[in-house]
Structure 1
Amino acid sequence: MLHSHPRIAVPPETRFVVPGYYRRFVFGDLREPGNRRRLAKWIVNDKDTKFKELKLDGDKLIEDIVAGPPTLGSAMGIAFRSYAEQYGKSRWGDKRPSYYHHVDLLLRLFPDAQFVHLIRDGRDCVASLKEMPWYTKDIFHAVVNWAEAIDYGRRHAKNLPADSYYELRYENLTADPATELAGLCEFLGEDYDPAMCEPSHVARVAIPQHKVWHSNTHGEVTTARSGSWRTRLEPWEISVCETVLGERLQAFGYEPSGAPKAEKAHVEACEKAASKRRWARRRKELRDRVNRLREPSPVAAQLTTRQLGELAKV
C-alpha cells in the first residue's frame, strides 16, 4: 500500500540493515574510501542481504556508496534511495517484522526515521507463521514473538515522539483502507492517494515471484483473513494463544473465544521460549553498548536535510 503511493518506495524485505550494523567493525573506518567499497560490495554481493531483489545496478551502487557520506547509515540509505529513484520516487521505507526490537539501532542509523507499527490479531499471526515455509520454530516461539512485538510497541508508543511512531490495526486497515491510509499519510506528511487502496497493481512488479506467501498482495484488499485463526489453529493452540496473550489481545480489542485454559506444560514452554529470547537479546544489547565506545567511524546517515540538521547539533 505504501509502495503504491506516488512518492514512497518500499522494497521487498531486505537483510542488510541490522546485520550490517552488527558487522560494522568488519568494514573498518568508513572515512576511508576503500572501506566504503568493502561495505558496498558486501551489500551487493552477499547472498544473505537479498540485494538482488532490489533489481539495481550493483556496480553503480558500489560507486555511489564510495562517493557518498562516510557513514554506515548513509551507505544503506543510498541503497534504498537508489531503489526509490528507479520508481521516480523521493522517499523510501523498509519492512521487516523483526524491526520492532531494533528501533534504537535504526534510530542510530537513520535519526529522522518514522516507524509504522501494524498490529494484527495475535492468533492470526501465530496461524500465519505456522504456514510459512521459512518458519522453523514451534508455536510457543510464535506466541512469544507476538507478545514481544506488542510489548515493544507499547514501549515505543510511550517513549518516541508523536511524529516518529504510528500504530494501526490490520483489521481496520483491510476493512476501511481509505480512512486508515489517509491517517497514515497525515502522519507521514504526505497527501493520501487513492492508488494506495489498489496495491495489487504494483505488487506484480515489486513482490518477487518466489515469495508465494505474499500471493494475497496480488488481489484486492480483503478482510477474508481476519479471524481465520478459528479454522487454522488447533483447539489446544487457541488455548495457548488466549492464555498467554489474553490481556494483550483484549487491550487491542480482540475478543477471546472462550477456549479452555492452556495446559501448564504449554504455558511453561512459552515462558521458557520467552526467557531464552530475552537473555539472548540482553547479551547482544550489552555487547553493542560496549562496541559503541569503540566504533571506527560515525554511524548516522547524512543524506537528508533533517539528518544533516541533527549532525550540526552534535
Structure 2
Amino acid sequence: MPSDRPIFVIGCPRSGTTMLQLMLHSHPRIAVPPETRFVVPAYFSRRMYGDMRLAENRRRLATWIATGKNTKFRELGLDADEFVRAAMLGPGSFGSVIGMAFQCYAERFGKPRWGDKRPSYYRHVEMLLRMFPDAQFVHLIRDGRDCVASLKEMPWYRPDAIYAAANWAESIDFAKRYARKLPKDTYYQLRYEDLTADPETELKRLCDFLGEEYDPAMCEPWHIAEIAVPKHKVWHSNTHGEVTTAHSGKWVTKLEPWEIALCEAVLGDRLVAHGYELSGAPKPDRRHVAAFKEAYHRRRLSRLRKYNRDRLTRLREPGPIAALLTEGQRRLAGLPRQRDRELIPR
C-alpha cells in the first residue's frame, strides 16, 4: 500500500533544504510547501485553544493559522474559509488541525502525501512526533564552513559567524542523537554535496527510505521553483537554476582566515565525522573559541528552558495531540481505516 506518512525536511539553515523541498515537491505523489511558520508557535500555545475535540476550538485554531500575521498561510495558496471548514469537520485532535493545512495543500496539487520544510525543525523532532507519530524525517547536512559563509550573507540573519558555527554544531549534535535513537524507517541523513554531485543516485536512495518510486522530475526542481518558492525570498535565487556543485567549498573565499580557523577548531571533529576534510588552518584566537562556547551554551540553555516549560504544559494538556489523518496515525490510535476523502469536504 502506498505510504501516506508526513515528511519533514530538517537541517541547519543554508544547508540546501529549499532545494530538497523542491525535489520532493517535484514528485508526483508528494507536496511540500514553502515555510509556513505556524507549526511550532501553535504547539507551544496549544493550551490557549482548548480541547480540539470541540469543533469551536478547532475553528479558533484554524482561523489563527489562516489569518495570523506571521503564519505565512497565504503562501499555501489555499482558501482560508475552506481550510477552516475542513479543520472543523476533521478529527478532534490538535495535530489533525495542523496537518489539515498541509493535507489541503497536497490536494491543491492532486497529491496524496504531504511534507513540510523548516531547518529549525531539527530542534523539534520529538514535538513533531507527538503531533505526527508516523512522520519521517530527512536531515540534510552540508559542510559547516559553507553554512557559516552562507548565513553571513543572508539579510535575515543578524548573528555573527560565531553564532552561525554554534547553530551548525547544534544541528549536527541533534543529527547524531536522532541517528542513534530513531528507527531506521523514521530518520534519514544525506549530504548536500552528495545530493548535488549525483542527484539521481541520492534521490533514488531517499525514495527507497520514503517508500516511493523515484521519478526523474525530482532531478529538475527548478521547473517548479516559480510555484513553490515565494518571490520575496530572493536569497533562494539559486533554486531557479539547475542543480550544481558550484556552491560547495565557497567558504575558502567567503570566510575570513580567523573564521576558518575557528570553524576547523570547534567544528573539526564533526566535520571529519561527516566526510569533510580540514584545511589545516592555524589555531584560532582563544577569545573566538570562548565566544563560540558561550553561544553554544546559550542555545542549549534556551532550548532546555523551553523544554521544561513544555513538560509542565503536557501535564495540563486540554485534549488529544496526535493527528488522526493518515492510516498510520489512525492505526496507532486504534481507529479503523478511513474512507477515501472522508476528511476533506468537496
Q: TM-score range by the shorter chain?
A: over 0.9
Equivalent residue in structure 1 for 2:175, among 129, 133, 153 = 153
Q: Which stretch of structure 1 is more off in the superposition, 258-267 or 176-185?
A: 258-267
Counterpart Cα distance in 1 of 2:327 and 2:116: 20
What is residue 261 of structure 1 aligned with on the other side?
Answer: 283
Matched, 1:48 2:70: yes
Deviation digits for residues 125-177 of structure 1 (CA, Å, limit 9, x no counterpart): 01111111111111111001100100100100000001001110000000000
TM superposition shift of 1:47: 1.7
TM superposition shift of 1:257: 1.0
Give runs of aligned pairs for residues 153-302 of structure 1, distance below 5 A.
153-302=175-324
Percent identical pairs in the alignment equals 65
Q: Which stretch of structure 1 is more off in the superposition, 256-265 or 181-190?
A: 256-265
State the TM-score, normalized to the length of structure 1: 0.98
Matched, 1:62 2:84: yes
Q: Which runs of 4+ in 1 moved over 2 A?
A: none
TM superposition shift of 1:240: 1.1
Higher helix share goes to which structure? Answer: 1
What SS class does the counterpart of residue 334 from structure 2 fall into? helix
Deviation digits for residues 26-81 of structure 1 (CA, Å, limit 9, x no counterpart): 11111121111110110001121111111110110011011111111101111001
Counterpart Cα distance in 1 of 2:258 and 2:232: 32
What is residue 109 of structure 2 aligned with on the other side?
Answer: 87
What SS class does the counterpart of residue 97 from structure 2 fall into? helix
Equivalent residue in structure 2 for 1:13, among 35, 39, 43 = 35
Across the aligned residues of Structure 1 and Structure 2, the Cα RMSD in angstroms comes to: 0.8
TM superposition shift of 1:261: 1.1
What SS class does the counterpart of residue 333 from structure 2 fall into? helix
Matched, 1:126 2:142: no
- Paired amino acid for 1:183: R
TM superposition shift of 1:226: 0.4
Counterpart Cα distance in 2 of 1:9 and 1:196: 12
Counterpart Cα distance in 1 of 2:167 and 2:244: 25
What is residue 137 of structure 1 aligned with on the other side?
Answer: 159
What SS class does the counterpart of residue 92 from structure 1 fall into? strand
Matched, 1:32 2:33: no
Q: Which runs of 5+ in 1 are unaligned?
A: none
Q: Which runs of 5+ in 2 are unaligned?
A: 1-22, 336-346
- Paired amino acid for 2:134: D
State the TM-score, normalized to the length of structure 2: 0.89
What SS class does the counterpart of residue 167 from structure 1 fall into? strand
Counterpart Cα distance in 2 of 1:218 and 1:65: 34
Aligned length: 313
Deviation digits for residues 231-280 of structure 1 (CA, Å, limit 9, x no counterpart): 11111111111111000001111111111111000000011111111111
Deviation digits for residues 206-225 of structure 1 (CA, Å, limit 9, x no counterpart): 11100111111110000000
- Paired amino acid for 2:168: W
